[in-house]
Amino acid sequence: MNNLKTIMLSLVAAIFFFNLNLADAIGKEKLPLTHIHGIAINPDNPETIYVGTHIGLLLCDSKECELVGDDRSDYMGFSISTDGKTFYTSGHQQPTGKNRGLRRSLDRGKTWEILSLDGDVDFHALSANPSVIYGWYWKLYKSIDGGKSWAFPDAKGMPPKDENKPSPYSPIISLAIDPADTNILWAGTNKGLYKSNDGGANWKKINAVSDAPVLAIYIYPDNKKEMYLSLFKEGILKSTDGGNSWSKAGTGINENDVIGYIAASPKDRKIIYSATYKTTLYRSDDDGKSWVVWRR
**One domain, residues 136 and 263:** yes
Total domain count, the chain: 2
| Residue 277: band (very low, low, confident or very high) from pLDDT cuts 50, 70, 90 | confident
**One domain, residues 98 and 176:** yes
Q: How high is the mean pLDDT of the chain?
A: 87
**One domain, residues 88 and 226:** yes
Decide if pLDDT at 25 tops 60.
no
Q: Could you give the strand order of the β-sheet that contains 204-205, starting from the edge strand earlier in sequence?
A: 172-178, 181-189, 192-196, 204-205
Give the whole-angstrom CA distance, residue 5 versus residue 270: 57
Bridge partners, residue 192, by sequence: 189
**One domain, residues 203 and 274:** yes
Task: Name residues whose C-beta falls within 8 Å of residue 209's C-beta, 6 or more positions apart in sequence.
Answer: 192, 193, 229, 231, 237, 246
Bridge partners, residue 237, by sequence: 229, 248
**One domain, residues 104 and 243:** yes
Check residues 26 and 180 and name the one with the higher pLDDT: 180
257 contacts 276 by C-beta, under 8 angstroms: yes
Average pLDDT estimate for 87-95:
82
**One domain, residues 263 and 232:** yes
| Residue 28: band (very low, low, confident or very high) from pLDDT cuts 50, 70, 90 | low
Model pLDDT for residues 227-238, shown as the tens digit of each residue: 999 999 999 999
**One domain, residues 144 and 21:** no
**One domain, residues 33 and 20:** no
46 contacts 78 by C-beta, under 8 angstroms: no
Which CATH number goes with the domain that contains 71? 2.130.10.10
Strand (E) or helix (H) holding 239: strand 235-239
| Amino acid identity, position 142 | K
Q: For 119-123, 161-165, 189-193, 282-286, which range has the lowest pLDDT when averaged over its residues?
A: 161-165
Give the whole-angstrom CA distance, residue 211 versus residue 217: 15
Model pLDDT for residues 102-123, shown as the tens digit of each residue: 999 999 999 999 999 998 999 9
**One domain, residues 55 and 83:** yes
70: domain range? 29-295
Distance of CA 198 to the CA centre of its chain: 24
Task: Name residues whose C-beta falls within 8 Å of residue 79's C-beta, 6 or more positions apart in sequence.
Answer: 38, 40, 87, 88, 89, 126, 127, 128
Q: For 1-15, 232-246, 280-294, which range has the lowest pLDDT when averaged over its residues?
A: 1-15
Confidence (pLDDT) at 273: 97
Confidence (pLDDT) at 2: 44
Decide if pLDDT at 10 tops 60.
no
Strand (E) or helix (H) holding 25: helix 2-27
pLDDT above 90 as % of the chain = 68
182 contacts 228 by C-beta, under 8 angstroms: no
Decide if pLDDT at 151 tops 90.
yes
